[in-house]
Structure 1
Amino acid sequence: MEEEIKFSSSSSQEKPQKLAVSLPNNVDKKGKKKPLMTIEGYPVEGLSIAGLETCIIFPSLDLAFDIGRCPQRAVSQNFVFISHAHMDHIGGLPMYVATRGLNRMKPPTIIVPTSIKPTVEQLFEVHRQLDGSELRHVLIGLDIGEEISIRRDLKVKAFKTHHTIKSQGYVVYQVKEKLKQEYHGLSIREMKNLKLSGVKITDTISHPEIAFTGDTMSDFLLDESNSDVLKAKVLVMEIIKHADKFQNKAILMIHFSARYTVEEIQGAMSKLEAPLAGRVHILTEGF
């Protein structure tokens, strides 16, 4: 029988829960700056402790997946993608917007599952009444299968996940324009004239770079429409099952239970065998 590794599940030998503290993610407990984790060329930082806080930040992409309690480094990201409405993933959203406003930063763009958008709007209205702030932001509902462009060369698509409440993950695609084969050999002037006449001389090529699952059971792995999740260069997830399906160059494991120590987590990960050995990274910030 295939073993499923998921560190956020309950244990028969429970240890006291830790209290997560949102320290700046690039500073250690002694106040010294530390290097960011880099996976396949992408700097990654954040916190993810099951039931307490999850916020995964990709600074070079200017985005965070979920907001947790709003760790300091998340504030500088212009885009936040929310996977679901559990408090350890969405609780810091008003603080994120308020802090950006306090620092006179431009209103952020927040992407949420369409099903929870009206409730998130109500959440902000309550905080406006309490705080007296504008809490300016752009709130976008994204359905499963829908895409949003966040940069000329980047788009993000929502995919279906399986959790106790409505949830979704996100895939970040790198977008490039590639000259169509039939126009190879043309001069710059000839290509310019074709473009001016309305002819599309390029094909749009998309490649999955980053995938984030949020909280989910392993069922999403069996969904054929989620194939790009398993092809993304970096996959951020909390569960390993059906190891033969992962085509990702790297997997970042998150959302470990506070019942475990860093040593226990590292020990379990060190036992992974092919085809996962050497590809799995762990996020233990805050443990």
Structure 2
Amino acid sequence: MLTEVQAGPYTVRGISIGGVYTSLQVPELNVVLDAGVPLRSFATTDHIFLSHGHSDHASALGALLGIRGLVGKHSPAQVFLPAEIESAVQEALAALQRLHRSAIELETIPMRHGDTRKVYRDIWVRAFQTHHAGPSLGYQFFRRITKLKPEHQNLPGEEIGRLRREGVPGIFDELERLEVAYATDTLSKVLETAPSILESRVLILECTYLDEKRTVEETQERLHLHLDEIIARAEQFQNEALVLMHFSQLYSPDHVRDLIRERVPPSLHERIRVFAPASNQWFG
């Protein structure tokens, strides 16, 4: 069974085990985050975001794209990925097509730190640098909304509608409503280099190690995040929900929940969603 948590208005579902495989889906945004395992129910999602090229996050991309045809999706999926790995991903998929003797339809969209792209409708994404081995990115999803400037708020509704249709400048402010941010396989430095993720409505954040089984220093050497680093910054998280994921197999799912409950301050713990299976068994 897939793990599923509710985080504010968003559902986060899928699988994440540190070093083994990670693939998450946020259906309300129509996005899949990483492709470490090919999940059939994810194949209808049109927008796939790769954080980096390591096998536990990217090796199932070809299989996932191949399933799309079997479930009736014949339009190319969009695959957003760090620009530096685009050619390698295309080469790997080309080899897979030769093995399968069938085409894999996709559109790769190379991203760099700070790049902003429209995903669909009113959903946009901005890439931000994460800190791992090799090129890696996190993704922040937001909505662009227009708001009437204060000095025009007394105008009649019909007049506002006319000004909007005519595109009259200086009437509206364009605002960004930060919805979901995704940061995995990264040093805690990302909380300093991309501070706006602390203000996203939902933050999906890796938390590979949880206690003295791995020290903070050992965790940093592995270019991952330790729970101690999150606890030390507890007051900085302004998110409505913080989804912690990518836990090491050093811990059982129940142990993960126990450690987080015991160690995290109540003010933050009440907003944490632990992305670990209720069965107390890791997938696979």
1:44 aligned partner, one-letter code: V
Indicate if the aligned counterparts of 2:234 and 2:265 stay in contact, CA closer than 8 A: no
Confirm or deny that 1:277 pairs with 2:245.
Answer: no
Match of 2:240 in 1: 249
Match of 1:228 in 2: 196
Give the superposition deviation at 1:192: 4.9
Residue 248 of structure 2 aligns to a residue whose secondary structure is coil
2:246 aligned partner, one-letter code: H
Aligned residue pairs total 253
Match of 1:39 in 2: 7
1:62 aligned partner, one-letter code: N
Give the superposition deviation at 1:148: 1.1
Match of 2:96 in 1: 127
Confirm or deny that 1:265 pairs with 2:256.
Answer: yes
Residue 218 of structure 1 aligns to a residue whose secondary structure is coil
Distance 1:190 1:55, change over 3 A: same
1:128 aligned partner, one-letter code: Q
Indicate if the aligned counterparts of 2:83 and 2:112 stay in contact, CA closer than 8 A: yes
2:113 aligned partner, one-letter code: I
Indicate if the aligned counterparts of 2:181 and 2:200 stay in contact, CA closer than 8 A: yes
* Aligned counterparts of 1:165 and 1:188: Cα–Cα separation in 2: 53
* Aligned counterparts of 2:102 and 2:156: Cα–Cα separation in 1: 56
Which structure's residues are more often helix, by fraction?
2
* Aligned counterparts of 2:166 and 2:142: Cα–Cα separation in 1: 29
* Aligned counterparts of 1:102 and 1:145: Cα–Cα separation in 2: 36
Indicate if the aligned counterparts of 1:50 and 1:255 stay in contact, CA closer than 8 A: yes
| Residue in structure 1 matching 2:61, options 84, 87, 93 | 93
Give the superposition deviation at 1:180: 2.4
Give the superposition deviation at 1:195: 4.5
Name which structure has the greater RCO, CA cutoff 8 Å, separation 6+.
1
Residue 76 of structure 1 aligns to a residue whose secondary structure is coil
CA distances 1:63-112 after superposition (whole Å, capped 9, x unpaired): 01111112222212111110000000001100111111233312211100
* Aligned counterparts of 1:170 and 1:249: Cα–Cα separation in 2: 18
TM-score (norm 1): 0.82
1:222 aligned partner, one-letter code: E
* Aligned counterparts of 2:30 and 2:188: Cα–Cα separation in 1: 28
* Aligned counterparts of 2:164 and 2:256: Cα–Cα separation in 1: 55
CA distances 1:200-252 after superposition (whole Å, capped 9, x unpaired): 332211121111102111111222xx121111111111234222321112111
* 1:29-178 alignment runs, 5 A limit: 36-105=4-73, 106-178=75-147
1:93 aligned partner, one-letter code: L
Q: Which runs of 5+ in 2 are unaligned?
A: 208-226
2:255 aligned partner, one-letter code: E
Give the superposition deviation at 1:41: 1.6
1:148 aligned partner, one-letter code: R
Distance 1:122 1:273, change over 3 A: same
Q: Which runs of 5+ in 1 are unaligned?
A: 1-22, 27-35
Match of 2:216 in 1: none
Residue 268 of structure 1 aligns to a residue whose secondary structure is helix
Match of 2:179 in 1: 209
Give the superposition deviation at 1:197: 4.9
* Aligned counterparts of 1:221 and 1:161: Cα–Cα separation in 2: 9
TM-score (norm 2): 0.83
